[in-house]
Amino acid sequence: MSDVAIRTEGRAGRITLTRPKALNALTLEMVHAIDAALVAWADDPEVALVLIDGEGDKAFCAGGDIREMYRTGTRGDFSYGRTYWRDEYRMNARLAHYPKPVIAFLQGFTMGGGVGLGCHASHRIVGGSSRIAMPECSIGLVPDVGGSLLLARAPGRLGEYLGTTGDRMDAGDAIFAGFADQYLPESGWEALKQRLVHTGDAGEAEAAAHEAPDSRLAAHRAEIDEAWHGSTLAEIMDGLPEEPSEAVQAGVDLMARNAPLSMAVTVEMIHAVRESDTIEAALEHEYRVTHRAMEHGDFLEGIRAQVIDKDRVPRWRHADWRAVTEEDVRRMTAPLGADALRLEGNRA
């Protein structure tokens, strides 16, 4: 298919996203093609590892193709979005449990669906241009594609901070927060890809790694831990220092643009996933929210404001975080019953 190049080269199964003008955003057809390739290669003795990359220098993958979700959702048809998330999450789970090494090259923007495709890989390589984030609260959604597990596992309260602010991580931050493994200047990426194709040895990626850059998040970890320590969004906001540091204030400023309901649900979800600590639990919790996001959440309004009309003035369901009730959060996070996400038999 034209939007993703899937082939074998040497000892590697190769997946290259080929929508650079759309920042390599994932369509449902791309999700299906990638998942089918992963299934086929899992038992193929000729494929020793999987290599995932994207065309262009602006983005590995900046998210999912959400325009179709808006088009169908505004007509009252929520089935397309639910199908997209369900099938994407199954692919995310397969990647997290894949029996062979998966090496992802995360240049430029890696956000949303790109995190789900690249950051569950066994070897996650970042360079100087890498900018990784989970900015879903800014479009009325929540960090998903298994991102809630990465946030729950991040040091201290960085998960709550990154999930509610959508702050962008550079290479050093991404490695510190657990979204990436190795730093390699992008000038060395092509040579490494060729060695991986030739040898089928994932150890080549580890051997090529350079010392990671310093992390801004690491430098401000103590301030972030203290400010984002609450177990709910209300506790976090009520507990903010009267005279916040520059780093904390920058995070609060980022939160001001986000949907209050999404941030409240994100905090709840991260705490729940931290208790279970599995990709299956993370995706199941996320699907509870995304299944309801168009009908009962702020997702359609977020897309309208950020992507369709681009007025950047969303009219959220809640005026601010104080207006979000416990019942509002429970309505989004309650089990789905018969509609729950099913991942049985989804390991490669």
DSSP string, 248-310: HHHHHHHHTTS-HHHHHHHHHHHHHHHHH--HHHHHHHHHHHHHHHHHHSSHHHHHIIIIIS-
Please, what's the largest Cα pairwise distance for the chain? 60
Alpha helices in the chain (DSSP H): 28-42, 67-73, 79-96, 113-118, 147-153, 158-165, 171-177, 189-199, 203-208, 216-219, 221-227, 233-238, 246-255, 260-276, 279-296, 299-303, 326-333
**Rounded Cα gap, residues 88 and 105, in angstroms:** 20
The tokens describing 286, both together, are 């996320």
**What pairing do the DSSP bridges indicate for beta strands 59-61 and 102-106?**
unpaired
Active site residue 136: yes
**Rounded Cα gap, residues 40 and 8, in angstroms:** 11
Residue 345 makes CB contacts below 8 A (sequence gap 6+) with none
Q: Of these residues, 53, 65, 88, 144, which one is catalytic?
A: 144
Q: Of these residues, 53, 65, 88, 136, which one is catalytic?
A: 136
Q: Of these residues, 13, 63, 64, 112, which one is catalytic?
A: 64
**Rounded Cα gap, residues 95 and 102, in angstroms:** 8
**Rounded Cα gap, residues 100 and 33, in angstroms:** 18
**Rounded Cα gap, residues 71 and 50, in angstroms:** 34
**Rounded Cα gap, residues 265 and 331, in angstroms:** 10
**Rounded Cα gap, residues 35 and 267, in angstroms:** 30
Active site residue 253: no
Active site residue 214: no
Calculated CA dihedral for residues 58, 31, 102, 47, nearest 10 degrees: -120
**Rounded Cα gap, residues 133 and 136, in angstroms:** 9
Q: Of these residues, 73, 108, 113, 172, which one is catalytic?
A: 113
**Active site residues per annotation:** 64, 113, 136, 144
